[in-house]
Chains A and B, each alone.
Chain A
Amino acid sequence: MSLLEIKNLRAAVEGHEILKGVNLTINPGEVHSIMGPNGSGKSTLAQVLARRDTFEVTGGEILYNGKDLLRMKPEEAACEGVFLAFQYPVEIPGIGNAYFLRSAINAIRKYRGEDEMDAMDFLPLFRENLKLLEMDEKLMNRSVNEGFSGGEKKRNEILQMAMLQPKLAILDETDSGLDIDALKIVARGVNALRGPERSMLVITHYQRLLNYIVPDFVHVLVDGQIARSGGPELARELEETGYGWAEPATQQALPA
């Protein structure tokens, strides 16, 4: 059974249709990449999958793990194993990172009917993942994302992903604003989490990230629809040709 099955998904923001019939199937363990020009709907797809209610779903369906994802609230989707690494991580003043992470882990455990994780079990796991992402433990005494650099925020997203162990990880432009060293660290963190039980949807504008996180499949989203699909070689092709072929003038010529 596939983990995620998106069928003819349509979504709008403030009455403006952005996704115009997206079809995509992801099987357990697969890493898919969504590429596309600005404004094509990449981030909207990520937000709809994470169930942000400022996006209105106007048609289609999404089956996640055999369940109707569109009926879930954001926290239910999260507890069912959907994780979104934010393009712009949010600051929560006054709440320490470690406390926040443990609260999240325990909210998910509670949902699944499991016992709470205590500090003794939490700390070793936490330290291990900090090491993986080369993050300073001192940083974790600060409030969530407060005073973090752009790169630290992105690494913090992957740290959270490593701690929460999702079934479906959606990375929304995690590479934006990262220098090459930070990009490598983030990619190493992501690759360490690849496995048969975890699927990933890597959203990016640039091919660069895909040199380090090599996807099984690449899809090109243009004007709210998947225009092309292929293997990793498609990303390299796009690097050379750019998205010029997908400009509105030539769009009509594309197969539906």
Chain B
Amino acid sequence: MSSQVDTTIRGLTEQDYQWGFITPIDEDRVPKGLNEEIVRLISARKGEPDFMLEWRLRALRHWLSLEREKGEPRWANIKYDPIDYQDITYYSAPKNRPVIDSLENVDPEILRTYEKLGIPLQEQKRLAGVAVDAVFDSVSVATTFKAKLAEIGIIFCSFSEAVQKHPDLVRKYLGTVVPYTDNFFAALNAAVFTDGSFVYVPKGVRCPLELSTYFRINAAETGQFERTLIIADEGSYVSYLEGCTAPIRDENQLHAAVVELIALDNAQIKYSTVQNWYPGDKEGRGGIYNFVTKRGKCAGVNSKISWTQVETGSAITWKYPGCILQGDNSIGEFYSVALTNNRQQADTGTKMIHIGRNTRSTIVSKGISAGYGQNTYRGLVKIMQGATGARNYTQCDSLLIGDRCGAHTFPYIDVRNSTARMEHEASTSRIGENQLFYLRQRGLTTEDAVSMIVNGFCKTVFRELPMEFAVEAQKLLGVSLEGSVG
């Protein structure tokens, strides 16, 4: 590739992080470090019932034993310096704690932050049909449209509020998809998580809005440990959007979230993420460590859970949103675009566990590597003995931009029922000089030509995103949306 094309590609992939502002607000923090005292303090600050405190303490003990015996999981294709878990602040809340029901009571600084981010908090956005639960550092500051949703029985609130007002639901489902024993970071999250979102959609209700949470890490040396729990009762439907950004800081910040989804008989959950955490600078200093456990359980018959993710941020991404397909005829889907540039590392993919009969799963993964970025797809498709008639289709494509990056693929397939049908397609391509020349010969600049090729590469995933998110995702990748001509 010519040096001029190379320069343009570098320019395109090295755009500065534009969401790096810091909001000056008072915070209420607990001391650094992790021990039983801190967990008790967090639980007390949040005024939690005993069952929550007990659960947290069990998680903490489990985490401590893991840390003592094995430490963090080391199997992922990522490299980073050891994390000092005693040097992290596990709770940080804005001091002017707002009354969570009213937008007027939210600190104006926070609202301005959200405005900068372009988050649809304001009333005008009501027309766009988006309800937002915004998590600022660890506390959910505003939940909009709650009343409107409550009219049809939908509960959409912060996790803290759910613990207070709907303890039975929380108790029934918390940890049933991702138990605290699942992995090191899931145990850590269970011990210290401070907030998150909670959704319950009752039987037969189709949620009329796209529910949305916007996470942002603001305070220095803070970890963000949020927890999301979504329950779709029989015959219901909900679409949930999650977006993330963080300010620029020199040090690395830890983000260890847990998301649990439960779909009962004939229910559907669509979960979309656009993740744009601060990726660190060009030399790899700073940036978010995004160690996240996301899993959905298709508990009921004919249920469906669909994950769509666009991952462009974080210094390190370690995340495998998966589905446990327990109910007969249930469906799991995973659509992913992961972009790594500069020194970013991503080890991401999915797990599809087929338990019920005639269960189906679809995996479409698009990895884009630029700069010195290292992009790994890691996926597990497991067909259990009883999963007669199970089907999986996996498509796993990698696109390389420049010659200093890497793409890696680790698909694991474990089939224990001979009736299973598995398809696996994989490709690795490079943006070719001939493609670029073709587009430039038609009048497009190199930059637009690269954008167009990347956009085309990701199209099957973007198509799965809700419209508003698709636009944001494409902006993030520096590409323009395909028009509706033709």
A interface residues (Cβ-Cβ under 8 A, vs B)? 50, 52-54, 73-75, 77-79, 83-84, 86, 89-90, 92-100, 102-105, 107-108, 111, 119, 122-123, 126, 137, 140-141, 143, 160, 164
Contact = CB atoms under 8 A, between A and B. Distances in A.
Interface stretch (B49-57, B291-299, B443-451): B443-451
B412 interface: no
Given A99-B485, A141-B486, A94 B438 contact: no
Contacts of B445: 75, 107
A92 B443 contact: no
Given A54-B2, A94-B459, A95-B452, A84 B485 contact: no
B439 interface: yes
Determine the main DSSP class of A at the interface with B. helix
A92 B442 contact: no
Residue among A50, A54, A84, A107 facing the most chain B CB atoms (10 A cut-off): A107
Nearest to B397: A93
Nearest to A103: B444
Interface in B435-486: 435, 437-446, 448, 452-453, 455-460, 482-486
B433 interface: yes
Contacts of A92: 435, 438-439, 452-453, 456
Given A98-B485, A99-B482, A74 B437 contact: yes
B485 A122 contact: yes
B482 A96 contact: yes
A89 B439 CA distance: 11
The 4 closest A-B pairs by CB, nearest first: A94-B456, A98-B486, A94-B459, A104-B442
26 contacts: A53-B2, A53-B4, A77-B441, A86-B438, A90-B434, A90-B435, A92-B435, A92-B456, A94-B457, A95-B456, A95-B459, A95-B482, A99-B482, A100-B442, A100-B452, A103-B444, A103-B452, A104-B444, A107-B444, A107-B448, A123-B485, A123-B486, A126-B486, A140-B486, A164-B442, A164-B443
A83 B485 CA distance: 23
A100 B442 CA distance: 9
Nearest to A107: B443
A54 B440 contact: no
Contacts of A111: 443
A83 B440 CA distance: 11
Nearest to B2: A53
Contacts of B456: 92-95, 143
A97 B4 contact: no
Residue among B437, B442, B482 facing the most chain A CB atoms (10 A cut-off): B442
Contact of B443 (A93, A98, A104, A143): A104
A160 B442 CA distance: 9
A97 B453 CA distance: 13
Contacts of B459: 94-95
Contacts of A77: 441
Given A119-B484, A140-B486, A94 B458 contact: yes
B484 to A, nearest CB: 7
Nearest to B4: A53
A164 B442 CA distance: 8
B483 A119 contact: yes
B443 A78 contact: yes
A109 to B, nearest CB: 9
A237 to B, nearest CB: 33
Contacts of B460: 94
Interface in B328-347: none
Contacts of B435: 90, 92
Contacts of B4: 53, 73
Contacts of A89: 438
Contacts of B444: 75, 103-104, 107
B415 to A, nearest CB: 30
B470 to A, nearest CB: 13
Nearest to B427: A93
A128 to B, nearest CB: 14
Nearest to A53: B2
Interface in B392-448: 432-435, 437-446, 448
B71 to A, nearest CB: 42
